Chains A and B, each alone.
Chain A
Amino acid sequence: MSTLAAIGAVFSVDVLASGLRLAVPTALAALGESISQRAGIFNLGLEGMMMVGAFAGFAATSATGSASLGIVCAAAAGAALALLMVFGSVLNGTNVIVTGFSLVLLGQGLGNFLYAQNQNRLPTFGPLDEIDTGGAADIPLLGPTLFSQNAFFYLTIAFAILIAALLGRTRFGLEVAATGSDRDAATAKGVRVRRIQALAVLAAGAFAGIGGAAITIGSVGNFGSNITAGKGFVAISLVAVARTRIGWVLLAAVAFGTLEAAEARLEDVAHVPTELLPALPWIAVVLALLTLAFSRPVRLRRAA
């Protein structure tokens, strides 16, 4: 098989379509993380926030049958965990890394524990239906990729536009950027730094929660132990690589999702052992982080 044909076989329309689907949870969490990192808070707890969102969304949808309610509950659960981050690091100056890490343990523990205790009471349901886009779904290439997705996909795009506008074109966005780049100067200019950071962290939690729900409600219809499988950390890495720029964050998430989707095809083409395939996206994360070495230095962690 020629190289070109091999590439064609790996990145087919199917793979691109499922790549976009797989990108959604990471993209949502990464959108949230972008806000909090711009405000100068490296939110390491993202994984925990995704986990509680994944569980709350699943539980609410399972109990009521309403996916919309599930999404709201997921956002609330993620924000609730983020509130602990606000209380610790924003209001009391605890080390962001230590507090963030504690929230990873706490969120994973809560999600897994609550599921284990309530498993029998929570029926599973089918993954969310695709939105009917009428004739658009028949357009070649664009149809199966962009116009055959479920609500979470379009929600992600809407949120991305909203967040890009909010950060780039409003007073709030300027205050977020000012807070993140120089706290003291921002304070001197009358920016209420703590309030900005608190809002940014809460937003990160809410979006991470919805990202978790995109897995449980959107694509699985169930919950499982550690179901977010490190996606929160992937999201943080993508935000670091994209330097919080929303367009690049989305692009990175799509690239990552596509790589995940291509795993199964790579087995046929490149003869990589099945067990090793899931390691590829993680290797890609490390390689992507490498690019940071060759760009302007960013001090993500000590910015707070």
Chain B
Amino acid sequence: MLGALRRAATSTSVALVIATAAALAVGGLLIVAVGVSPVSAYKTIWSGAAGSTDALAQTSLRIAPLLVMALGLIPALRANVFTIGSEGQFGIGALTAGLAAIAVAPHLPAWLAIVASAVAGVGGGVAWALVPALLRAFLGIDEILTTFAFNFIATFLLLWLLNGPARGKGSFLVQTSPMPTDTWLPTFGGSVANISLLILPVLVLAMLVFGKTPAGYRVRLFGARRSLGVAAGARAWRVELLTMLVAGGAAGLAGWIQVAGVDRAVFATVFRGYGYLALALVALGGARVLPTVVGAILFAALQNGSEAMQLGVGVSADFVFIMQGLVLFLMAFRLTRSRA
């Protein structure tokens, strides 16, 4: 009993909640400094994130893409492969998912069009991860820098395509045509929450199972010390290539969830920083599944809430990046200790 309590008190998830509280305390000082009452600011964050059924549904729309992307990053981070390319892969996945939906909807039954759109999203994400992954796996080129460069290349590619070849006919905006209603993700009852939430438990379970498989074990060994992983039978290039492609596929899937569930067309503004946030929340949980889930919920709520705060009391929503940076900074200390 006592042991269980102590384990709970020292668990990463609890530490994460404490770190978030600490960051919010520091953030409170910042809010005071800009002349707003932190009490009213945090009240609007809370009501914007979780204050009503509608707010919760809105938050769920952010949880789904963030968590899908984050779960996909877990194997990479366990293998000590620090890919920061999710942001670009998310955008490209959103694009391919959106275009596929528009292309196939007239020819396929609705459910099949939705599946095709999802598959196209995954494909787009994997394709965008491929070059940095190959460079890492076969030439040993640092993945941090290449994936970051690819994020920028993706934003310009998207801008060009949405301005030209992929632009909706007669559209005055930089976007594709709207996706056919058949390819939108069905929602629950009268709320905006959609069925992408049903994918989450499946992916969580898949990641938990992966951790118990020999392959999952080898990936972790490989991340802890390359030579150990190799001795256990992992092939370096395969681990690096596959973990990066899985992360890319998950980011592409998240892009699909975004366009099919929320945007319903591909906009140049599809990039929202979710890719960086997903990476942050996997890193802060030490690439473990449960803290990643808790982190995704916390970050999504914070993000949704801080937009309400910007509208409500005029404190910029950029506040949320400060909070997330602080939380990650604080959690880095815990990771060091737990490893020692």
Q: Which residues of A are at the interface with B, using a C-beta cutoff of 8 A?
A: 44, 48, 84, 88, 92-95, 97-99, 101-110, 112-113, 116-118, 225, 230, 233, 236-237, 240, 273, 275-279, 282-283, 285-286, 289-290, 292-293, 297, 300-301
Contact = CB atoms under 8 A, between A and B. Distances in A.
Given A276-B160, A289-B135, 13 more contacts: A48-B325, A98-B284, A105-B280, A105-B325, A109-B324, A117-B315, A237-B149, A282-B156, A283-B149, A286-B150, A289-B142, A290-B141, A293-B135
A118 B315 CA distance: 11
B237 interface: no
A297 B142 CA distance: 11
Contacts of A240: 142, 145
B322 A293 contact: no
6 contacts: A97-B283, A106-B322, A106-B329, A285-B149, A286-B150, A297-B140
Contact of A98 (B131, B153, B157, B335): B335
B336 interface: yes
Nearest to A109: B321
Nearest to A111: B318
A233 B147 CA distance: 11
Given A273-B160, A300-B142, A282 B321 contact: no
A112 B153 contact: no
A241 to B, nearest CB: 9
A48 B329 CA distance: 13
Nearest to B339: A95
Contacts of A301: 142, 144
Interface of B: 30, 34, 82, 84, 131, 135, 139-142, 144-146, 148-150, 152-153, 156-157, 159-160, 163-164, 276, 279-280, 283-284, 315-316, 318-326, 328-329, 331-333, 335-336
A289 B146 contact: yes
A12 B116 CA distance: 50
A99 B84 CA distance: 14
Contacts, number: 142
B316 A116 contact: yes
A84 B164 CA distance: 45
A289 B152 CA distance: 16
Nearest to B141: A289
B76 to A, nearest CB: 12
A279 B145 contact: no
Contacts of B148: 230, 233
> Main SS of the interface on chain B?
helix
A97 B336 CA distance: 12
Contacts of B318: 109, 112-113, 116, 225
Contacts of B279: 101
Given A103-B329, A117-B316, A283-B153, A233 B141 contact: no
Contacts of B145: 233, 236-237, 240, 285, 289
A289 B150 CA distance: 13
Contacts of B156: 275-279, 282
A102 B332 contact: yes
Contacts of A118: 34
B325 A107 contact: yes
Nearest to A229: B152
Contact of B153 (A92, A99, A113, A282): A282
B160 A92 contact: no
A116 B325 CA distance: 18
Contact of B146 (A103, A277, A286): A286
Contacts of B283: 97-98, 101
A279 B141 contact: no
A95 B337 CA distance: 11
A240 B143 CA distance: 12
Counting chain A CB atoms within 10 Å of each CB, the highest count among B141, B157, B163, B322 belongs to B322
B150 A94 contact: no
A260 B324 CA distance: 32
Contacts of A233: 145, 148-149
Contact of A102 (B163, B329, B336): B329
A290 B139 contact: yes
Nearest to A274: B160
B139 A293 contact: yes
Contacts of B150: 282, 286
Contact of A97 (B144, B320, B321): B144
Contacts of A237: 145, 149
Counting chain A CB atoms within 10 Å of each CB, the highest count among B135, B141, B150, B321 belongs to B321
A106 B325 CA distance: 4
